[in-house]
Chains A and B, each alone.
Chain A
Amino acid sequence: MMNSGVMCNMKLLEYMGKELLSNHGITVQKGVVVSSVEEVSQKAKDLKPPFVLKVQILAGGRGKAGGIKFADDIKGAEDICLELLGKEMRGCIVNKILIAQKVEVKTEWYLSIILDRLSKCPTVIFSSLGGIDIEQTAKTDPGRIVKIPVNPLIGVKDYIARYIIENSGIDGKYMEELNRIIGNLYRLFNEYDCTLAEINPLAIVDDDNLMAIDCKADIDDSSLYRHPDILEFRNTIDENPLTIEARKFNFLYIPLGTEGDIAVASNGSGMLMSCIDLITKSGMKACAALDLGGGATSERIAQAVRTIFKNKGTEYLFISIFGGITRCDEVAMGVKIAIEDGLKDKTVILRLEGTNKAEALKISQSIDGNVIDVKSISEGVKTLKSGRKNR
C-alpha cells in the first residue's frame, strides 16, 4: 500500500495553461504551437501578423534570455524558429515555440490563486503592478499586493472582486469582468487540482478588454489520476532524464547539484533529508537523492542502483533503510546484482535495519565489489568521510 513517495507538483508549459484558461472562458491571444520550422507556414496561416514568438520552457526569465521575439510575417517567424528551436536556454532545451498574434498592452495586472498551506484555503492574489516586476513589488511595495482567502466551503463570490477593487485602486468599471475572470480561474483551480494558477500579466488590451498574456499552472501530482489530459502533457516536458527513468520504476530521483559525488537512497523522504543533512554537516556534498518507497524487490533495488550510477559524478552511494515493509535482504540482493554487473569501481555504504537484517548481512558480505556495511547513519557518514580521504 505504501509505495514510493513520488509527490510533487507538475508544472504546465505556458501554452498548456493557456489552453485550460481558454477552455474556462478566459481570453488569451490567438496562437499556435510549433515544434519544427516546417510547421510554421501551415499552422500560423490563419493568424493575423504581427506575431509574438515565445519559447515554451519551464524556466523563468525567458524574455531576458532572448526567448521572446517578434515577427512581422510568416517568413520572420520561420527565421526565429530556426534560430531558437533545439537551442539550450536557462538549462532547458527549446522543443516548442508558441506563435501568437501580438496585442497592444495598455496596462499589466497580476492575478493568481494559490493553495495557501498556512490558512489551508485557496487565496486570491492581485496587484495592479503586474508583469515582470511582480516579485520586486512583493519585496519593495507589498502594500500594492492584495491577498484575500477563499473559504473553500463557500467558493468565490462577487465580494472577492469588490474587495480587490477597493484595495488595489483600479477603476471600478472592471468589476464585472474581473469578477468573471476570478470565478473562472477558481473553477479551473479546483477542477484541475492546482496548487497555483497564475495569470501574469492579466492585461488591458487595445479594445479595453482583459486578456491573459502569460500564465503558470502547477498541478498536484497526487491528483493526476483524475486528469488524463494533463498526464498526456507530462512526457512532453523537459526534465532530468534520470528522474524520468526512475519514475518508470516508481522511484523519486532528485538531482541535488553537480558538486558532490555522493548519492543517498532510503525508503522514506524524511530519512533521506536527515542523511543529506548529516553528510553536509560533516563537510561533504550529496549530488542526488532517491526515494525507494516501501516494499521494493531486489530487481527494483538493482534498477535504482543502476539509475543512480548513471549520473557521471556519482562515486558513492549511501543506502539507509529502516525496513518494515522494505525487506533488508531484498535490498542487499539488489545491490549485489547491480554492483557485480559492471559497477565494481563504485562504492556502496549499506545501513540496513529491520526485517531480515541477518540474511541481508550474509548477502552483502558475499558481494564482489566495494560494499561496506555500517550499523548506524552516523557510522555511515564517518565511513564516507574516511573513504573519500583515502581515495
Chain B
Amino acid sequence: MSILIDEKTKLIIQGITGREGTFHGQRMLEYGTKVVAGVTPGKGGTEVFGIPVYDTVREAYLKTGADASILFVPPKFTAIGAYEAMDAGIPLVITIAEHVPVHDMMSVYNISKSTGSRVIGPNSFGVISPGKSKAGFMHDKIFTQGSVGIMSRSATNCYETVFLLTNNGIGQSTVIGIGGDMIPGSAFIDYLGMFEADEQTKVIVLIGEIGGSDEEAAAAFIRENIKKPVVALIAGKNAPRGTSMGHAGAIVSADGTGSAQNKEEKLMAAGVHIAEGTEHIVQIIKDLRCV
C-alpha cells in the first residue's frame, strides 16, 4: 500500500529540461519512479533521457494520463506552473521551490479548492513511498520501506528522523514534505485519514513547528478519527516571538496563537505521544512495539 504515490504512479516533470529538473528527473527514474513525460514551453517534441517533452501540461496529460506532476521551476514561476497543472486536471501537484511569494500560494490554495487538485509544498522535498516511488529531491538512500508514515513541515528534522529510524531498522510507508511556508497547499489534516486507512502504515509521525494552527487542527481530527498511534514533534519552543526562524510559517503571534505549548497540549489531549527531539521520536516508536 503506502499513500499518494507508489510504483504505478505516472509522473510528469514540469521544467524537465532545466538543470535541476534533469538532474533530479534522472535520480527519480533510477529510484523506480514512473516518469512518463516532461513539460518545457518551447521544447515540445524533444526528449530527455528517453522521456517525451511537451509544450503544455494539458498535452502531456492527454497523451499519458499522468497521476501527478512535480514542478522543478523557479519560485517566481511556481504559481503559474501549478495553475497549469491544476487546470489540466492533474490530481496531485507537487511544488518544491523555496521563496514562493505567499500571495501566489494563497491563490494556488484557493484555486485548488475549486479544481479539486491536491497540492503539496512549496518549500518541500516532495513525497516518497520508499522502495516504490519518489517525487522530489530527497536523499533517497536514507529511506527504507516499512510501516511508519511521516509528514513534516521541516526537511532537516524529517531527514534526521528518517535517518535515525532507518539506522534502527525501522522503515517508512510514505514520507510527505508538507513544507515550511505560511500557506502550504495541503496540511497534516489532509493526510491523517489516508494514513489511517493505509494497511502498510502502523504508526504516524507528525513533525510540526510553531506558527499557524495546522497542528491544532490535526489534534482535533486525530481525537475523532485516528486509532493508530501518532507521535509528534513540535520544533521552535524557544524561537523568539514575532521573528521568523527562516520558515515563513514559523512565527508565533503576540497573543500566543501558534505557540508550541498550545500545540503540544492539544495533541497530548488527543492521545498523541509528544517527542522532545528527533532521537526521542525513534525511542517512542520503539517503546510502542507496533512496528
Residues on A facing B (Cβ under 8 Å)? 1-3, 5-9, 115, 117-118, 120-122, 151-153, 190, 193, 195, 220-223, 225-226, 252, 254, 256-257, 266-274, 276-281, 286, 289, 291, 322, 324, 353-354, 376-378
Contact status A269-B106, CB under 8 Å: no
Assuming A257-B240, A267-B156, A271-B156, is B233 touching A5 (CB within 8 A)?
A: no
Assuming A120-B106, A271-B160, A274-B277, is B154 touching A5 (CB within 8 A)?
A: no
CA distance A1 to B100 in the complex (A): 13
Contact status B154-A121, CB under 8 Å: no
Across the interface, name the chain A residue whose C-beta is closest to B122: A222
Q: Which residues of B contact A354 (CB under 8 A)?
A: 139
Q: Does B248 belong to the interface (CB within 8 Å)?
A: yes
Q: Tell me, rounded to whole Å, the shortest Cβ–Cβ distance linking B21 to chain A.
A: 10
Interface size class of B (residues with CB under 8 A): 35 or more
Contact status A272-B246, CB under 8 Å: yes
Q: Does B76 belong to the interface (CB within 8 Å)?
A: yes
Across the interface, name the chain A residue whose C-beta is closest to B216: A118
Assuming A118-B213, A322-B156, is B240 touching A153 (CB within 8 A)?
A: no
Contact status B236-A273, CB under 8 Å: yes
The residue from A1, A151, A269 contacting B246, defined by CB atoms under 8 A apart: A269
CA distance A252 to B122 in the complex (A): 19
Across the interface, name the chain A residue whose C-beta is closest to B19: A1
CA distance A266 to B159 in the complex (A): 13
Q: Does B163 belong to the interface (CB within 8 Å)?
A: yes
Q: Tell me, rounded to whole Å, the shortest Cβ–Cβ distance linking B161 to chain A.
A: 10
Q: Which residues of A contact B210 (CB under 8 A)?
A: 273
Q: Which residues of A contact B103 (CB under 8 A)?
A: 115, 190, 193, 220, 223
Q: Which residues of B36-55 are within 8 A (CB) of A? A: none
Assuming A271-B160, A354-B139, is B246 touching A280 (CB within 8 A)?
A: no
The residue from B137, B180, B277 contacting A377, defined by CB atoms under 8 A apart: B277
Q: Which residues of B241-277 are within 8 A (CB) of A? A: 243-251, 276-277
Q: Which residues of B178-227 are within 8 A (CB) of A? A: 180-183, 207, 209-213
Contact status B212-A118, CB under 8 Å: yes
Contact status A153-B182, CB under 8 Å: no
Q: Which residues of B contact A271 (CB under 8 A)?
A: 154, 156-157, 160
Contact status B156-A2, CB under 8 Å: no
Contact status B100-A281, CB under 8 Å: no
Q: Does B278 belong to the interface (CB within 8 Å)?
A: yes
Contact status A272-B245, CB under 8 Å: yes
Q: Does B97 belong to the interface (CB within 8 Å)?
A: yes
Contact status A220-B183, CB under 8 Å: no
Q: Tell me, rounded to whole Å, the shortest Cβ–Cβ distance linking B259 to chain A.
A: 13
Assuming A266-B156, A269-B246, is B277 touching A278 (CB within 8 A)?
A: yes
Q: Tell me, rounded to whole Å, the shortest Cβ–Cβ distance linking B250 to chain A.
A: 7
Across the interface, name the chain B residue whose C-beta is closest to A278: B277
Q: Which residues of A contact B158 (CB under 8 A)?
A: 270
Q: Tell me, rounded to whole Å, the shortest Cβ–Cβ distance linking B70 to chain A.
A: 13
Q: Does B20 belong to the interface (CB within 8 Å)?
A: yes
Contact status B244-A280, CB under 8 Å: no
Assuming A220-B102, A281-B276, is B237 touching A8 (CB within 8 A)?
A: no
As a 0/1 sequence over residues 98 to 125 of chain B, the CB contacts with chain A under 8 angstroms (1 = contact) are 1111110011011100100000000100
